[in-house]
Amino acid sequence: MRNLLNIDNLTVTFPTNNGPVDVVKGISLSLGRERLGIVGESGSGKSMTGRAILKLIRSPGKVKADRLEFDGIDILSQSERQMRSIRGARISMVMQDPKFSLNPVMTVGTQIAEAIKTHQKLSAQEINDKTLAMLKSVRIENPERVLGLYPHEVSGGMGQRIMIAMMLVPEPDLLIADEPTSALDVSVQAQVLDIIDNLVTSKGMGLILISHDLNLVSSYCDRILVMRAGEIVEECVASELHAAKHPYTQGLLAAMPKIDEDREWLPVFEDMSGSQT
Amino acid sequence: MSGIHIKNLNVSYGDTTVTHDVCLDVAEGESLALVGESGSGKSTVLKAIAGLATQWTGQIEIDGVARTHSIDRGIATKCQMVFQDPYGSLHPRKTIDATLSEPLQIHGIKDQSQRVIEQMANVQLDERYRFRFPHQLSGGQRQRVAIARSLMLGPKFLLLDEPTSALDVSVQAEILNLLKRIRLEQNLTYLVVTHNLAVVSFLCDRLAVMRSGEIVETANVSQLKSNKLEHPYSKELLQASRNHTSEKENV
């Protein structure tokens, strides 16, 4: 089967006072209809990679790649107008915080309906049915009530589920989830990820899950890329993460406290902490 | 009586009562964690102790002194708070030096410069950062500043509200180590609010589980480590936290 996404030598550059800085330094990856996790700390370029795929990086940022191909379409040569038919319909993205990503002055129902209307021509009744069905599929109880609510009237977990509903309603081929749960509670996190997981598996979508949480990524993905300072330092099968070879990955794993912690001190990266000097 | 003792604490915001008859005893030198989901009222308890939420009934006693509803300088010197988000808790237009000196000025303490330098060394923050602004520092460095600020008056009690949840894994490890070290060195008492049970396990001796404004269980960390929490809700919470790790091992 043809790969859903092929990236060769992707570079994202931003100009600064001290000259251009590469935030993503020539990474290559390919993705089938599978679940890929990208892990890394802040500033590692993981979100920029996700945004570059959707061509969401605006000037003065620059994206260069030998190949950036989604389902045979060369993303880099697409015009803004052509991108619009890809974004949402073919590739969609779940952002980190529902508080900032939902439109505060539109009801939940209107927002989801808008996502459908943009990509499909349906009657008002069909749109309404589809919206309700989608809200149900993200396990929102009594969706009729939620339709009329404004984003500030729903909890964080519900907001994120609404975001997911909105992103999945046009049935995209690829879902990019950028820290979909870091704004949520532990107990809600698992729920939201299970929903994403179910929908992705049942519809045969590709998923890119971007997160800083190694454990979370390893339990919800098939493959994992570890990024650091714009480079992919390690690629491994999720179940073999604990056998990671790169010192950075090992360091990250060791730096995390465990519930049955018996270490007196946690190991830290000596070279990364500017404050230790 | 030394330590922090809370009896039948009901905190309200307007007409809504957020905590219901919370009773909590933190012995001196102990590190107690308050865990629970967002909205369970754990931060509210801290705010009431720190004097930030003033609409409460019940008793709060800090080191033998009952807390009043108004500003209390005596309690401020004993009990300080560190907030979750180092991006929000530092004044953006004040240098680190100004931020750290402010508590000293308010309390009329001399040798400000000397104390600022000492405290920065204590939190392992290089002196070259002293006259910088918060936006020039990384998240971990800002949290160090916030911790240094809370230690300026030499308190015995630190109230830590999600001290590491806004930080990266490697930075979190540094800050957790720092908190553990200063607690040992200065014999501090911690009351830590967190939703991360792994942090509890590393930093605390006991934990209290909160749900919808009530404490449902208090337990020792050894019970947490050996999976012996009793209340069904605590078990559920523990299960949710363990899930990520265990699933990985089962695959």
In a domain, A123, yes or no: yes
pLDDT tens for each residue of A140-193: 888 888 899 999 888 877 888 888 888 888 888 999 998 888 777 777 778 788
Given an 8 Å threshold on Cβ–Cβ distance, is A259 in contact with B197?
yes
Residue pair A143/A135 in contact by the 8 Å Cβ criterion:
yes
pLDDT at position B244 is 57
pLDDT tens for each residue of B138-155: 888 999 999 999 999 999
Contacts for B58 with CB less than 8 Å, ≥ 6 apart: B6, B7, B8, B9, B10, B21, B22
With a cut of 50, say whether residue B131 has pLDDT above it: yes
pLDDT tens for each residue of A180-230: 887 777 777 787 888 888 888 888 889 999 988 888 888 889 999 999 989
DSSP conformation class of A58? P
In a domain, A273, yes or no: no
* Residues forming a β-bridge with B13: B16
Residue A128 half-sphere exposure, CB side, CA atoms within 13 Å? Answer: 6
Say which range, A214-223, B216-225, B235-244, has the weakest mean pLDDT: B235-244
In a domain, A45, yes or no: yes
Task: For each of the domains in chain B, give its residue range(s) and CATH number, in order of start.
Answer: 4-250 (3.40.50.300)
Name the domain count of chain A.
Answer: 1
pLDDT tens for each residue of B176-206: 999 999 999 999 999 999 888 889 999 999 9
Smallest Cα distance from B209 to chain A, Å: 14
In a domain, A276, yes or no: no
Better-predicted residue by pLDDT, A97 or B246: A97
Domain ranges, residue A188: 5-264
Smallest Cα distance from B161 to chain A, Å: 15
Q: How confident is the model at residue B245 (pLDDT cuts 50, 70, 90)?
A: low
The answer to ipTM > 0.95 is no
Given an 8 Å threshold on Cβ–Cβ distance, is B170 in contact with A268?
yes
SS3 B86: helix
Residues of chain B positioned with their CB less than 8 A from the CB of A239:
248, 251
Segment B1-23 shows an average pLDDT of 90
CB nearest B201 (choices: A216, A239, A261) = A261
- The CATH number of whichever domain residue A47 belongs to comes to 3.40.50.300
In a domain, A257, yes or no: yes
In a domain, A21, yes or no: yes
What is the identity of the amino acid at A248? Y
Phi-psi region of A246 (alpha: psi -120 to 50; beta: other; left: phi over 0): beta
Residue pair B173/A256 in contact by the 8 Å Cβ criterion:
yes
With a cut of 60, say whether residue B251 has pLDDT above it: no
CB nearest A215 (choices: B168, B180, B245) = B245
In a domain, A269, yes or no: no
With a cut of 90, say whether residue B34 has pLDDT above it: yes
In a domain, A271, yes or no: no
d(CA B237, CA A188): 10
